[in-house]
């Protein structure tokens, strides 16, 4: 599953102190030193870095429990047994509600490269699938896994609000792939879906559309909820478009349910512009429109919120949002290496705003 991109030069994206700590750590576990480490000055000569850099690296290793820093004396290695124990506690677990084969390509690519980077640095990774549904069952599954394994930290993907709250309450080092619910205090990495949907609605309004709709899964996932918020904000921020209306169409992901929801939508006040959250639902919506004799973009303009390479290959190409191929994997790998080296990350969102790919599925209303 894991593959390292040939253009990546990972150590250059780490701080000098983290690189120095990694080099010293490898030397320790390779048996380069038996009981005492060389002096700070000697390390400066060996690694060609400054003394403050070496000092930060040594304090990092001390926090890991690899060495014992002694003021005025040479720093001492911990016992081989203790060092082995620390080395074995290098397992990083990906807790996910979906199997790997169902992950979006961008996320799948990011996780694959992240695992490759971590393996290169001596860390092991494992995937723990917690199917959606029973919140208490998910928590028990995580608790049992953490009891049976020495886990350094966790990566959370598409997990429920209750599971995010559990990790936050138990202070388990974790990074959320996606958005955190407002009540949850955890670090996260996600596409800025709120801004994306606000931009998409603004694009429709700028083209003269006044009846807009967002077609989104009724998932309860924070990113989808943020999408709804951003979509509605576009109209709230443009008071001059007083006759404009934004409708949220929530569905369960099946073609039957999407069709039934759209039936009700087009029966009342038919929209002239649709923003569809998931790539796999875009074609369900387009087929539905064709069955009703509605064409894209002549009758209905359409934008896809998420990225998929097929959106550019069809004719006409579908308007959507996309990020550079390496942006997500690079950001994810940097955050994970920072998490494992520091033991924690600031509880704040790390957001990526993608570029708008105009495509040919939107048109200006006359």
What's the pLDDT score for residue 235?
92
Q: 3-state class of 223 per DSSP?
A: helix
Which are the contacts of 266, defined by CB distance < 8 A and separation ≥ 6? 292
Decide if 181 contacts 338 (C-beta within 8 A): no
Its sign, for the CA torsion 249, 162, 229, 282, is negative
What's the pLDDT score for residue 48?
87
Decide if 276 contacts 304 (C-beta within 8 A): yes
CA separation for the pair 22, 295 (Å, rounded) = 58
pTM of the predicted structure, to 2 decimals: 0.71
Q: What is the mean pLDDT of residues 92-101?
A: 84
What's the pLDDT score for residue 3?
42
End-to-end CA distance of the chain: 50
Confidence check: pLDDT of 340 > 70: yes
Report the mean per-residue pLDDT for the chain.
86
What's the pLDDT score for residue 93?
92
pLDDT tens track for 264-301: 999 978 999 999 999 999 999 999 999 999 999 999 99
Joined tokens for residue 341: 């080296």
CA separation for the pair 239, 242 (Å, rounded) = 6
Decide if 232 contacts 267 (C-beta within 8 A): no
Q: What is the mean pLDDT of residues 209-234?
A: 94
Decide if 232 contacts 198 (C-beta within 8 A): no
Q: 3-state class of 349 per DSSP?
A: strand
Decide if 237 contacts 206 (C-beta within 8 A): no
Comparing 200 with 221, the larger pLDDT belongs to 200
Report CA Rg, the chain: 25
pLDDT tens track for 160-195: 889 999 999 988 899 999 899 988 999 999 999 999
Which are the contacts of 291, defined by CB distance < 8 A and separation ≥ 6? none
Comparing 365 with 216, the larger pLDDT belongs to 216
CA separation for the pair 170, 294 (Å, rounded) = 52
Strand pairing partners for 94? 127, 155
Q: Which residue has the tokens 């792939």?
A: 177
Residue 240: count of CB within 10 angstroms of its CB = 6
Q: What is the mean pLDDT of residues 321-336?
A: 88
Q: What percentage of the chain carries pLDDT values higher than 90?
A: 45
Q: Which residue has the tokens 């850099």?
A: 53
DSSP string covering 133-147, please? S-HHHHHHHHHHHHH
What's the pLDDT score for residue 325?
81
Per-residue confidence at 64, pLDDT binned at 50, 70, 90? low
């Amino acid at each position: 599953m894991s593959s390292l991109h040939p253009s990546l030069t990972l150590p250059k994206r780490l701080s000098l102190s983290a690189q120095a700590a990694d080099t010293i750590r490898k030397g320790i576990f390779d048996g380069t030193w038996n009981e005492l480490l060389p002096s700070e000055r000697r390390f400066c000569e060996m690694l060609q870095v400054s003394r403050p850099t070496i000092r930060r690296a040594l304090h990092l290793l001390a926090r890991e429990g690899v060495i014992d820093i002694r003021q005025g004396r040479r720093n001492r290695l911990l016992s081989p047994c203790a060092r082995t124990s620390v080395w074995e506690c290098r397992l990083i677990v990906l807790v996910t509600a979906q199997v790997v084969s169902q992950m979006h390509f961008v996320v799948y690519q990011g996780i694959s490269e992240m695992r490759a980077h971590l393996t290169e640095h001596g860390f092991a990774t494992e995937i723990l699938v917690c199917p959606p549904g029973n919140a208490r069952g998910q928590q028990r599954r995580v608790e049992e896994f953490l009891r049976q394994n020495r886990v350094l930290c966790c990566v959370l993907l598409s997990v429920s609000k209750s599971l995010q709250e559990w990790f936050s309450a138990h202070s388990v080092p974790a990074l959320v792939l996606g958005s955190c619910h407002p009540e949850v205090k955890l670090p996260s990495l996600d596409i800025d879906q709120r801004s994306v949907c606000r931009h998409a609605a603004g694009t429709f309004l700028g083209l003269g559309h006044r009846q807009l709709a967002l077609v989104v899964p009724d998932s309860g996932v924070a990113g989808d909820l943020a999408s709804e918020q951003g979509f509605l904000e576009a109209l709230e921020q443009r008071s001059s478009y007083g006759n404009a209306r934004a409708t949220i169409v929530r569905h369960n992901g099946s073609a039957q349910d999407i069709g039934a929801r759209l039936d009700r939508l087009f029966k009342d006040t038919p929209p002239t512009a649709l923003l569809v959250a998931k790539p796999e639902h875009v074609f369900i919506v387009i087929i539905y429109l064709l069955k009703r004799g509605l064409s894209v973009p002549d009758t209905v303009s359409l934008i896809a919120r998420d990225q998929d390479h097929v959106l550019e290959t069809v004719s006409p190409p579908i308007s959507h949002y996309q990020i550079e191929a390496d942006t997500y994997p690079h950001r994810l790998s940097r955050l994970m290496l920072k998490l494992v080296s520091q033991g924690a990350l600031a509880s704040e969102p790390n957001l990526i705003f993608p570029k708008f790919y105009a495509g040919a599925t939107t048109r200006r209303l006359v």
